[in-house]
Amino acid sequence: MRPVEFDVTYESRNTWARLGTLKTNHGVTQTPVFMPVGTQATVKATSPRELVEVGAHIILANTYHLYLRPGHRLVEESGGLHRFMAWNRSILTDSGGFQVFSLGDLRKITEEGVAFRSHLDGSKHFISPEVSMEIQMALGADIAMAFDECAPYPADYQYTKDSTLLTSRWARRCQAAHTREEQALFGIVQGGMYADLRKQSADDLVSLDFPGYGIGGLSVGEPKELMYELLEVTVPHLPKEKPRYLMGVGSPDCLIEGVSRGIDMFDCVLPTRIARHGTVFTRNGTMTIRNAAYSRDFIPIEPECECYTCQHFSRAYIRHLLNTGEILGVRLTTIHNLHFLLRLMEEIREHIAGDTLPEFRTTFLGQYYGGEI
C-alpha cells in the first residue's frame, strides 16, 4: 500500500466541499479534518488518551522545534515520533519552513536553503530542502511536507513571484531527497496574494504529482475575504483525487468557509493557545472564562457539551484554577476547545453528507458571532 491513501467518498451538491477518508499506516481519518498541533511532540497540556477522547485522529508536529529539541536523531533512536510521544494514530510534520521564515532578522534565504539562528540560544543552523527531508524522515511521521518559502504579507509581485518559483524548485529537490517509503510527501502551493502566481504554483506542484497538497502562505495577516478568494482560485487547479490541506487555519468560521471551498485538512494552534490564556469556544462565540463575571457561575462552559471538562466542572471552578495558576485549569480549557473544534468538524461532515452545509454555515456563524466576541 502507498503510505497515504485518500478516497473522496462524497461530493457536496451545493458547495465545493467533499467527504473523504485518509488512510495511513496509523489508521483512518475522516475528512474534512482538523489536526491539533503538537509542536514539541505533545499537544500542549494534553495526554495522548485525552486526544483520542476528544476525537483526534491525526495531529501535527513541528519539524523546526523537534530538530532543535530533542533533535531528530534522538527521536529516530527512540523508535520514531509515534513511539516517542506514545501516539499511535497519524502524524503530519510541517517542513520547518514557516517557523524558520518567521525568525525574521535571524535568517537568510539563498537558492540553497535558509541559514538561521536558533530562537533558543542563537546557535547557527542551515535547513535546505534536503535537510528538511532528512529531519522529517528521521522523525517518521506518516506525512511530511515539502520545504517551502512562505512569503510575508504584504509582499510585492516580484518578490512573491521569485519566492513562488523558488518554492517550486525546492519542491522538486524535496521529492528527489525523500526516500522514506512508508511516509508520504505533500507539496505546498504558495503564490502569496496573487491569483496568477497561485495558479502557477499549483500547476508546478501538480506536475510533480505529490500524493497531497498543502496550501501555504495564507492566514498570514490578510483579510479573511482575500484568503477565501485565493482559495477559490487555487483549489480548482488541484487534482480532485488528492487531499488539500489549508495550513495554519483553524478558527470556526475559517473551517466552515475552507471546507465549503474544497479543503480537506486544517491545522492551527488557535484552540490550544487561547485555552492557555483562559478563552474557550462556545456556540455563542468565545468566552473569557477568567472574567469576574464567571466567578459564581456554577454551570459548565457549555451545559450540552459532552467533553470531560463540561461533564464534570463548572465555569467558577475553572476560573478559580486559572486565577490560581493551577495546571488543571489549562488542561480543562484545552480539552474543551479541542473537543469543540473536532465536534464542529464532525457536524460539518454530517452537513456535507446531507447537503445542508450552506444552511449550517448561516446558522452556526449567526449564533457564533452573535456571542461575546
Nearest approach in angstroms of CB 39 to its own copies is 9
What Å distances lie between residue 349 and 91, 94, 156, CA to CA?
21, 25, 38
β-pairing, 27-31 with 33-36?
unpaired
Per the residue annotation, which of 94, 142, 204, 264 is the catalytic one? 94
CB nearer to its own copies: pick between 198 and 339? 339
**Span of 93-101, 123-131, 314-322, 356-364 interacting with its own copies by CB under 8 A:** 314-322
Nearest approach in angstroms of CB 288 to its own copies is 17
199 makes contact with its own copies (CB under 8 A): no
C-alpha cell at 200: 502557477
Window 5-64: residues binding its own copies (CB under 8 A):
40-42, 44-49
326 makes contact with its own copies (CB under 8 A): yes
* Residue 94 is a catalytic residue: yes
Among 194, 281, 317, 340, the residue binding its own copies under the rule CB under 8 A is 317
Maximum distance among all Cα pairs of the chain, rounded to whole angstroms: 60
310 makes contact with its own copies (CB under 8 A): no
Number of residues that bind its own copies (CB under 8 A): 38
Window 165-194: residues binding its own copies (CB under 8 A):
none
Sheet holding 213-215, edge to edge: 33-36, 265-268, 244-246, 213-215, 184-189, 143-145, 90-93, 58-61
| Region for residue 230 given its phi and psi (left: phi exceeds 0; alpha: psi -120 to 50; beta: otherwise) | alpha
Residue 3 has phi, psi (to 5 degrees) of -65, -30
Q: How far apart are CA 202 and CA 166, in angstroms?
A: 13
Among 8, 11, 23, 78, the residue binding its own copies under the rule CB under 8 A is 78
- Coil, strand or helix: which one is 12? coil
**Rg of the chain over all Cα atoms, to the nearest angstrom:** 20
DSSP state of 37: B
Nearest approach in angstroms of CB 317 to its own copies is 6
Window 91-150: residues binding its own copies (CB under 8 A):
none
323 makes contact with its own copies (CB under 8 A): yes
CA dihedral 217→218→223→225, nearest 10 degrees, is 130
Among 5, 7, 77, 209, the residue binding its own copies under the rule CB under 8 A is 77
Nearest approach in angstroms of CB 122 to its own copies is 17
68 alpha-carbon distance from chain centroid = 21
CB nearer to its own copies: pick between 56 and 321? 321
324 makes contact with its own copies (CB under 8 A): yes
Among 321, 322, 341, 352, the residue binding its own copies under the rule CB under 8 A is 321
DSSP string, 194-209: -HHHHHHHHHHHHHTT
The Cβ of residue 292 has, within 10 Å, a number of other Cβ atoms equal to: 8
Taking residues 55 to 74 in sequence order and writing x for each that binds its own copies by CB under 8 A, - otherwise, the string is ----------x---xx---x
* Residue 264 is a catalytic residue: no
CB nearer to its own copies: pick between 74 and 373? 74
CB nearer to its own copies: pick between 193 and 275? 275
Window 261-300: residues binding its own copies (CB under 8 A):
295-296, 298
CB nearer to its own copies: pick between 259 and 321? 321
CB nearer to its own copies: pick between 48 and 271? 48
β-pairing, 27-31 with 18-24?
antiparallel
DSSP state of 307: S
Residues in the chain: 373
Among 242, 331, 336, 339, the residue binding its own copies under the rule CB under 8 A is 331
Handedness of CA 342, 344, 345, 346 (dihedral sign): positive
Give the binding site for its own copies (CB under 8 A). Answer: 40-42, 44-49, 65, 69-70, 74, 77-79, 84-86, 295-296, 298, 308, 312-314, 316-317, 319-321, 323-324, 326-328, 330-331
Which residues does the annotation mark as catalytic? 94, 267
